[in-house]
Chain A
Amino acid sequence: MATVIQIIFGLIAALVVGAAVMVVTVRNVIHAALWLIACFFGVGALYMLLEAEFLAVVQVLVYVGAISILILFAIMLTRQVTGEGVRQLVGGWRLWLTAAISALLFAVAIAPTVIAHRWNTPAPPGPPGTPEPLAGVAELGRAFVYEFLLQFQVAGVLLTVALIGAIVIAFEERARRRRVLTLAEEHELRKRLAQPQPVEAPAGEPAPAPRATPISEGEVQQ
């Protein structure tokens, strides 16, 4: 039994770490988001292995179901600039510096501390085979309405504020909204873009004008 659990834990750990490495290194952002979903599933499986069933379900619902979809939506809404061929990682010495910082943080600070520290794990109750006293979903629900009632309410307020804030930030005024191109218009646009254009944007800054007109080629004159 112990061996089976160890094998399962090893597989889950490999999945989590491997998927996380793919998330941060893969070039295509869509692929990174899909690897992120795999990583979230792995973390959910780890919760299940740690006997936190409710958290595993919440992980799948919130992370896999909501946050990943949100990230995929954001990628697709910004797809003109997040496509392939764009350099995704910082270049040169900055990349090596961040890699060195992360690796050193793990190898020098985290892993030795975790392994050297003596954790005072409680002794197993009674002879082997006796079930451990394990808090479950019932205790969780009771904690939310007794001990952590104030925090629970504050969390609700936080979610409401985040919802309103997200709507306010991402809201687009109707007058500035771009119309989605029909297929014929897109074809025309591509034909127009295929011809060499004499007028090029100034080569200095990448035109960071606030209130820049949205995608000038895609704009439909009204």
Chain B
Amino acid sequence: MTAAVPLEAVLVVAGALFCIGLFGALSRRNLIGVLMGVELMLNAVNINLVAFWRYLEPRFITGQTFAIFIICVAAAEAAVGLAMVIAIYRNWLTVNADAVDSLKG
């Protein structure tokens, strides 16, 4: 793997995934769509960590450990975020991110 595919190729794929996720998180009006974009960005970061582990420090496990912690945090984020979406839907009857603006001055 390391001989056949250069590290840059993996990093470019991860960067593309990150930018697509950023676009999704910024451009979706639906709160669930925003969360999906955030998940894409977290996945891109994970690919980066695993690629760096594999190519640069294959004998240490730190990269994979970090990736697992990020998956853990992403799971917590998804659970709380979707619970908030459901609570917002119940109280405001909308999941549009632009309509939930009661904190706006």
Contact = CB atoms under 8 A, between A and B. Distances in A.
Do A and B actually bind? yes
A162 B43 contact: no
A132 B87 CA distance: 51
Given A81-B89, A162-B80, A212-B93, A32 B102 contact: no
B34 to A, nearest CB: 10
Contact of B102 (A36, A46, A208): A208
Nearest to B59: A133
A58 B27 contact: no
B24 A82 contact: no
Given A43-B47, A166-B83, A51 B54 contact: yes
A101 interface: yes
A70 B82 CA distance: 7
Interface string B10-40: 1111011111111110111110110111011
Given A143-B62, A208-B102, A210-B102, A50 B51 contact: yes
**Chain A contact surface mostly:** helix
Contacts, number: 268
Interface residues of A, number: 96
Closest 6 CB pairs of A and B: A24-B24, A162-B76, A110-B15, A2-B4, A102-B23, A170-B83
Interface of A: 1-3, 5-6, 9, 13, 16-17, 20-21, 23-24, 29, 32-33, 36, 39-40, 43, 46-47, 49-52, 54-55, 58-59, 62-63, 66-67, 70-71, 73-75, 77-78, 81-82, 86-90, 94-95, 98-99, 101-103, 105-106, 110-111, 114-115, 119-122, 124, 132-135, 139-140, 143-144, 148, 151, 155, 158-159, 161-163, 165-167, 169-170, 172, 206-208, 210-212, 214-215
23 contacts: A20-B24, A23-B36, A39-B17, A39-B43, A43-B47, A46-B10, A50-B51, A59-B71, A67-B39, A67-B74, A74-B32, A74-B82, A87-B29, A89-B29, A90-B98, A101-B23, A114-B8, A120-B56, A121-B7, A139-B61, A158-B72, A161-B76, A165-B80
